[in-house]
Amino acid sequence: MKAEIISIGDEILIGQIINTNAAYIGEKLLTIGIKVKRTTTIGDDEEIIINALQKALYENDIIIVTGGLGPTHDDVTKKAFANFFKCGYKRDEAVYEHVKNLLAKRNIPLKPINEEQAMVPEVCNVLFNALGTAPGMHFIKDGKEIFVMPGVPFEMQYIMENHVLPYLKSKNKFFIKVKTLMTCGIAESSLFNLLGDINELTKNAELAFLPNARGVRIRVMTRSENENDAEYELNRVVNIIYEKANNYIYSDEEKEIEEVVGKLLTENNLTLAIAESCTGGRVADRITDISGSSKYFMRGLVTYSNKSKTDLLGIPDELISEKGAVSKEVASLMAENLRLKSGTDIGISTTGIAGPTGGTPEKPVGLIWIGYSDKYESFAKNFYLGDNRKIFKERASQMALNILREQIIKNFIRKK
Domain with CATH 3.90.950.20 in the chain: 257-413
Q: 243-273 as b/e, with b when 16 or more CB fall inside 10 Å?
A: eebeebbbbeeebbbbbbbbbbbeeeebbbb
As a whole number of angstroms, the distance between CA 334 and CA 349 comes to: 6
Q: In the CATH scheme, what is the code of domain 175-251?
A: 3.30.70.2860
- SS3 per residue for 182-211: EECCCCHHHHHHHCCCHHHHCCCCEEEEEE
The H-or-E segment that residue 90 falls in is strand 89-91
Please tell me the distance from the alpha carbon of residue 180 to that of residue 198, in angstroms, as a whole number.
17
The region that residue 33 occupies, defined by phi over 0 for left and psi between -120 and 50 for alpha, beta otherwise, is left
Neighbours of 100 (CB within 10 A): 15
Judge whether 381 and 369 are in contact, CB under 8 Å.
yes
pLDDT for 279 equals 98
Q: Are 22 and 2 in contact (CB under 8 A)?
A: no
Residue-level length of the chain = 416
Q: Does domain 2-171 have CATH number 3.40.980.10?
A: yes
pLDDT value of position 1? 81
Position 70 scores a pLDDT of: 86
Query: 3-state class of 286 per DSSP?
Result: helix
pLDDT of residue 205: 94
Tens of pLDDT, residues 30-53: 888 898 999 999 999 999 999 999
Residue-wise pLDDT for 76-119, tens only, equals 999 999 999 999 999 999 999 998 998 898 888 888 888 889 99
Q: Where in the chain is the domain with CATH 3.40.980.10?
A: 2-171
Can you give the pLDDT at residue 173?
82
Residue 395's pLDDT is: 97
Predicted confidence at residue 172, as pLDDT, reads 82
Q: Give the predicted TM-score (pTM) of the model.
A: 0.80
CB-side exposure of 188: number of CA atoms within 13 Å?
Answer: 12
Q: Measured between alpha carbons, how far is 1 from 169 in angstroms, rounded to an integer?
A: 11
DSSP one-letter code for 118: G
The pLDDT, as a whole number, for residue 162 is 97
Which amino acid belongs to residue 213? A
- pLDDT for 416 equals 67
Q: Provide DSSP, 230-269.
A: HHHHHHHHHHHHHHHHGGGEEESS---HHHHHHHHHHHTT
Name beta bridge partners: 302: 276
Kindly give the parts of the chain with pLDDT less than 50: none
| Contacts of 14 by beta carbon, 8 Å cutoff, 6+ apart | none
Query: Which residues in the chain are classed under CATH 3.30.70.2860?
Result: 175-251
Q: Under DSSP, is residue 132 helix (H, G, I), strand (E, B) or coil? A: coil
Q: Is there a contact between 351 and 344 (Cβ–Cβ < 8 Å)?
A: no
Residue 403 burial (CB count, 10 A) = 20
Report the distance separating Cα 60 and Cα 38, nearest Å. 9
CATH superfamily, region 257-413:
CinA-like (3.90.950.20)
CA trace torsion 98, 104, 107, 110 (10° rounding): 80
